[in-house]
Amino acid sequence: MNDDDRLITSGDVARRLGVGTRTVGAWVRRGWLRPAVTTPGGRYRFRWSEVTEQLREARERDD
């Protein structure tokens, strides 16, 4: 498994994108991001390869 396929936290996503964790949560609520897993405690886990693809799709929809 490469690094793009392992599960990462909202904090990891936020750091890679240069935004806050609240922003990542807002993007999930807006449907711009879909977590790979939501933990029983309501925390999101993502795969970086999916995050980049989902954000690319969201940008294309907004254009």
Residue 4 is which amino acid? D
pLDDT (tens digit, 0 to 9) for every residue of the chain, 63 residues total? 677 789 999 999 999 999 999 999 999 999 899 999 999 999 999 999 999 999 898 888 776
Sign of torsion, CA 57 38 13 28?
Answer: positive
**Sheet with strand 7-9: strands edge to edge:** 7-9, 44-47, 37-38
Look up the pTM and report it: 0.86
Q: At what angle do helices 48-62 and 10-17 cross, to 10 degrees?
A: 60
Question: Do residues 24 and 44 lie in contact, with contact meaning Cβ atoms separated by under 8 Å?
Answer: yes
Residue 59: predicted pLDDT = 83
